[in-house]
Amino acid sequence: MSNTWVDRLDNPASARLRDPAFTGYVGIFLGAFAAFLAIPPIEARTTTWPILVGVVGAIFGIWTVTRGRRRVGWGAVAAGILGLALGILATRSGTGNLHTVFDPTLIAQTFGFATPLVFGAIAGMISERSGVINIGLEGMMLMGAFWGVYGADRGGTWAVGLVVGAVLGGLLALVYAYFAIHLRADQIVGGTAVNFLALGITGYFFVQLYHNQPVPNGVSTLPNLKIPGLSGLHFFGPAIGDLNILIWAGFVLVIVAYVVLFRTPIGLRIRACGEHPRAADTVGINVYAIRYACVGVSGVLAALGGVYLSEGSQGNGTFIFDMTNGRGFIALAAMIFGNWRPAGAFGAALLFGFSNALALRLQVYSASASTLFNVLPYVLTLIAVAGVIGRTVPPAADGKPYRKQ
């Protein structure tokens, strides 16, 4: 047996295929595809296809494992089995339920859930790229959520709300920055304090100003952006034809964040401060100024995510106590899961938003089981930091106070 098909892979042209990790990724893709086959729009009603594709995915995984790339390999095995199981489940369920869960608005809803996470994750990333850990994202978002409503209520328009929310979030961030940068406080402790503080401040003024009522009614909210020509279409219309402006702003933010951080001089300096502040200092970069600016911007962006929560299509102009309910931490998770990179953070935010949207919709099957779906972001992040699916690498000086000589 001299000329097996494996031998033929030694041909340099298929060098990519011979990279064991690549076959692992193929396996992961097949696993996802196995589940995808059984849901609309493909909606295969036979178990054959999901089983077949899932098993092939798992085999790719095992093959990868035997060739030394164990993490990716086991990931593919897991994806194959999971996809196979989900595929079978989907074929067993009624088509009516399937169509309730998987319709084009699922995409719109995913974006809706993902947007606060996108803002939060990018916010966290900017702060951490400059070397300051921002555990206080949750609190800064909460500030945006409350003061956004307050601004829109008093100012009469959502635009005022947007500005007021962003400014108050930025102010809280600057308070944190003073403790973290100038006083060289422990950044985890400081961030935790910021979260308590925001919870207290928003709760206090919510009671003081609105007497704890889930009002005010009729506050101007963030408008949707109807795209002419698209909103009438069959699939794209309900999916992306009528999205909130902050959702679009979130997309733009990801691109801007990427360009600024990785394609401009200021981005180079920011990253230098997060990797090796002493090196940045010795070439005359003002490390403190850059860190202050980044933490401030981080607070503003996180607050915008919060404004979306209360003033977007889901919040509809109302605030409730502790409205963020952990979204700041999911945003943090998305940032880590996305390996401190804009595209990665965006992808993670979408994935987490998707799991939220799905959890809501899966209630047609089982209320309790769908609740459990909400843990997905946290479990995935736990797996990510455990290094099972590749190593996450924070900036080298992240969380370390810098002291000028």
**Is 228 a residue that touches other proteins (CB under 8 A)?**
no
Residues 60-89 contacting other proteins, CB under 8 A: none
Contact range with other proteins by CB under 8 A, out of 51-59, 230-238, 300-308, 366-374: 366-374
Least spacing, CB of residue 290 vs other proteins, in Å: 11
Would you say 127 or 195 has its CB closer to other proteins? 195
- Which residues touch 188 (CB under 8 Å, ≥6 apart)? 133, 135, 399
Would you give the DSSP letter of residue 223? Answer: P
Site membership for other proteins, residue 3 (CB under 8 A) = no
> Between residues 78 and 290, which has the closer beta carbon with respect to other proteins?
290
Structure tokens at 315: 């919040």
**Length of the chain as a residue count:** 405
Single-letter amino acid code for the residue at 212: N
What's the CA gap between 156 and 147, in Å, rounded?
13
How far the first Cα of the chain sits from its last, in Å, is 69
22/179 with CB nearer other proteins: 179
- In the bound complex, what is the minimum distance in angstroms from residue 30's beta carbon to other proteins? 27
Segment 176 to 215, residues that bind other proteins, using CB under 8 A = 179, 183-186, 188-190, 192-201, 203-208, 212
Going by C-alpha positions, the residue among 222, 220, 236 that lies closest to residue 107 is 236
Contacts of 1 (CB under 8 A, 6+ apart): none
Total residues binding other proteins (CB under 8 A): 73
Q: Does residue 385 bind other proteins (CB under 8 A)?
A: yes
Residues between 84 and 113 with contacts to other proteins, criterion CB under 8 A? none
Q: How far is CA 242 from CA 119, 219, 223, 274, 290, in A?
A: 20, 20, 10, 39, 38
* CA nearest neighbour of 299 among 148, 177, 192: 177
Segment 125 to 154, residues that bind other proteins, using CB under 8 A? 135
Which of 63/329 has CB closer to other proteins?
329
Among 271, 298, 305, 331, contact with other proteins (rule: CB under 8 A): 271
Kindly indicate which of the ranges 5-13, 51-59, 270-278, 290-298 contains the residues binding other proteins, using the contact rule CB under 8 A: 270-278
Which one, 246 or 331, has the nearer CB to other proteins?
Answer: 331
* 175-184 b/e (C-beta count within 10 Å ≥ 16 → b): bbbebbbeee
Looking at the Cβ atoms of 196 and 235, the one nearer to other proteins is 196
Joined tokens for residue 226 = 């109807």
Give the footprint of other proteins on residues 280-339 (CB under 8 A).
280-285, 322, 325-326, 329-330, 332-333, 336
